[in-house]
Structures are given as structure tokens and as C-alpha cells.
Amino acid sequence: QVQLQESGPGLVKPSQTLSLTCSVSGDSVGSNSYYWSWIRQHPEKGLEWIGYVFYSGTTFYNASLRSRVTISLDTSKNQFSLKLDSVTAADTAVYYCARVQLRLTAPGNRAFDVWGQGTTVTVSS
Amino acid sequence: QSALTQPASVSGSPGQSITISCTGTSNDVGGYRFVSWYQQHPGKPPKLIIYEVSDRPSGVSNRFSGSKSGNTASLTISGLQAEDEADYYCSSYTSGSTFVFGGGTKVTV
């Protein structure tokens, strides 16, 4: 049973860097069968895809956030991380980490098949 | 990259069928079979209910079905039940190797 768990500060000051970690159990972030992704949801709003990292370290980001976001892997800890620079109140949201299945023969190909519970981040002074 | 277009809300009576549309472009919905749908209850993370346009993960009710025509994908919920009241989101893989979500649809039973 694969499980993802987000962790990090729940409160970040404006202009600072938001840093979150997703701990993965039951699977390996070093596997070439998945993308490891971050998604956020503003209060009472829809889902916004932030980006993903592949086992090789290759990353793809939402164009609207690309200049501020970094997603990276730590295979030794079986974790992946999100850093978002120069945050403002508009970055206040619930942040989810999720797995994207890449195996053609597995259910959920190119879909977010496993999600963390989400962590609320508030940007405020 | 613009979000996919979904109706803000759809409602139906118990036992009825409803359909939620998800409109994109040839660079996302129209160009790939990698359209997925998610159900989200309040305070919970989204749950995958449809992938690759019309496939259901194990354990998802067969009352949920998906289809696609051109740049528009659709989710149909048949035999509507009270527990189906939730927010529903579509998502698509894109030509830029990225993903995009729809704005979400609130289903009221």
C-alpha cells in the first residue's frame, strides 16, 4: 500500500520561501515507473498542477509558476520536495503531493493515482 | 496554459444520470487519451475515478463512466446517489509534457 505524506511549515511570511516535503512509503521515488508531483488548491477553489520530478531528476513545471518553483528528489530518504520562492498571500493553499503512474499496463496511466492528505500553508506576516 | 473548462455546478435527483463536460484543446484533451477524472469530498484529497478517458480503477463503482469526443471529455454518473455529492475535476496530460486541471464541478444530489 503506497502512502504519501506531506510535511512542512503551516505558516510562511511574505517574500520568504515555502518548503514542503513528501515522504513516500510502499514505493521508491527512484523508480522509473512514476512521476512525483505537487498540486495545490486555493481556499474554496479548484486544483492547480504545480509540477513533477522524474527519477532522473528531470522536472516539468506549470508555466505560471516556473520562475519560482523547484521540485527535487532525495532518494536516500525516499522523499521529494517543493520549494516556492518569494511567496505572497496568493500562495496560501492546501498543497498535495501525488504520484503519476507511467506503466502502460497498470491502472491509472498518466493519472494522479495516489495522493497525500494535503497540508495547509498560509502566507501571512 | 489555461485550465480546462467545466460547468461550475450540475445537479440531479437520486437515481438520475448526470453528465459533466470538460473542454480543452488539441494540445491536451483532444490530443491524448490521458484524460482523468477525480472526485473530492470536503476536507479530503481528490480520488481518481476515471483514467485514460474511460477506464475505472479497481473499486470504483461502474456507475461512473467516461468518454471523449474531439476536444471535450465527459463524465457520466448514472443512478445518482447521495454519496456522489462532491466536487469533480478533470485533468489531461498535455503536449508540453505537463498536466492541466479543469476548474471543477460541484455535483448536488
- The residue of chain A with its CA nearest to that of B50 is A108
β-bridge mates for residue A72, sequence order: A81
**Count of CB atoms within 10 A of residue A122's CB?**
13
**Count of CB atoms within 10 A of residue B47's CB?**
17
The reply to whether residue A62 touches residue B98, judged by beta carbons under 8 angstroms, is yes
Q: How far apart are CA B18 and CA B24, in angstroms?
A: 20
Please provide the average confidence, as pLDDT, over all residues in chain A. 96
Q: Give pLDDT tens digits for A41-72.
A: 999 899 999 999 999 999 999 999 999 999 99
Looking at residue A46, its pLDDT comes to: 94
Q: Give pLDDT tens digits for B19-53.
A: 999 999 999 999 999 999 999 999 999 999 999 99
Task: Name the one residue in this structure whose C-alpha cell is 491502472.
Answer: A107
**Count of CB atoms within 10 A of residue B18's CB?**
19
- Residue B1 pLDDT > 80, yes or no? no
Looking at residue A107, its pLDDT comes to: 86
Q: Give pLDDT tens digits for A76-124.
A: 999 999 999 999 999 999 999 999 999 888 888 999 999 999 999 999 9
- In this structure, chain B runs to a length of 109
Shortest alpha-carbon distance between residue A121 and chain B (Å): 15
